[in-house]
Amino acid sequence: MQDSAKPNGITPSQTVGPFFKYGLTPTGDYAWNDAFTNSTLTPDVTGDRVRIEGRVFDGDGVVVPDAMLEIWQADAQGRFADPQDKRALPNASFRGFARCGTDKDGNYSFDTIKPGVVPDPDGKPQAPHIVLAVFARGMLRHLYTRIYFSDEAGNAADPVLGLVPADRRATLIAVREAGKPVYRLDLRLQGDNETVFFDV
């Protein structure tokens, strides 16, 4: 029956809407369990533990209290927990994925490890980075961006940062707080200092 007829195209995206919390990020507030948390940390994971935090703003500079952010990243050796990464070794229970809903003040945070270096398609090293997907009411499709780290010398030669006009690169770089393994990055969906989003 409906087996394997070639589809005419992909299923279009629709907004996550204002009411996703009880299904996707209930965090104890609803009668439903969380499939994911805002942490990628597992007891046996190796690497530098870091926290990434910030706020999400709309085009009026108003906080977005109903956004959902998802991160995907390599482990500290730059390997992905996906068999499609042929270099991957059976590495702990690290999965490299986390999800966070913003709070009423637009805050988000992730607890994770700083990822290692991942090659680009030419084998050139990419600076440590995390891929970030942003979902919200009002966003008909989620947007992709990246999180880099302010204390990485490799940023200067990163091939993806190199595609971004110099005056917009700072929107992708989380800034380390003095003396703490905490990095801050605010996301601006529109307007001055709008976050760079990628067409992937």
Q: Sign of the CA dihedral 117, 123, 126, 132?
A: negative
Judged by CB under 8 A, which of 50, 76, 127, 131 binds other proteins?
131
Task: Kindly state the smallest distance separating residue 128's Cβ from other proteins, in Å.
Answer: 11
Q: Does residue 64 belong to the site contacting other proteins (CB under 8 A)?
A: yes
Distance CA 165, CA 167 (A): 6
Judged by CB under 8 A, which of 116, 138, 154, 181 binds other proteins?
138
Task: Kindly state the smallest distance separating residue 175's Cβ from other proteins, in Å.
Answer: 21
Q: Which is nearer to other proteins, 60 or 180 (CB)?
A: 60
Q: Does residue 178 belong to the site contacting other proteins (CB under 8 A)?
A: no
DSSP labels, 81-130: SSTTSTT----TT---EEEEE--TT-EEEEEEE----EE-TTSPEEPSEE
Q: Which is nearer to other proteins, 50 or 134 (CB)?
A: 134
Q: Which is nearer to other proteins, 43 or 179 (CB)?
A: 43
Q: In a 3-state reduction of DSSP, which class is residue 172?
A: helix
End-to-end CA distance of the chain: give it in Å, rounded.
Answer: 34
Binding-site size, other proteins (CB under 8 A): 79
Judged by CB under 8 A, which of 136, 173, 174, 185 binds other proteins?
136
Short-list 60, 64, 40, CA closest to 52? 40
Q: Which is nearer to other proteins, 10 or 178 (CB)?
A: 10
Q: Does residue 166 belong to the site contacting other proteins (CB under 8 A)?
A: no
User: According to CB under 8 A, which residues from 68 to 97 bind other proteins?
Assistant: 70, 72-74, 80-85, 95-97
User: According to CB under 8 A, which residues from 20 to 39 bind other proteins?
Assistant: 20-24, 26, 29-33, 35
Token pair listed for 126: 């990419």
C-beta separation of 39 from 25 below 8 A: no
Tell me how far CA of residue 198 lies from CA of 5, 17, 50, 53, 139, in angstroms: 32, 22, 24, 21, 15
Q: Does residue 53 belong to the site contacting other proteins (CB under 8 A)?
A: no
Residue 126, Cβ neighbours under 10 Å: how many?
A: 21
Task: Kindly state the smallest distance separating residue 61's Cβ from other proteins, in Å.
Answer: 10
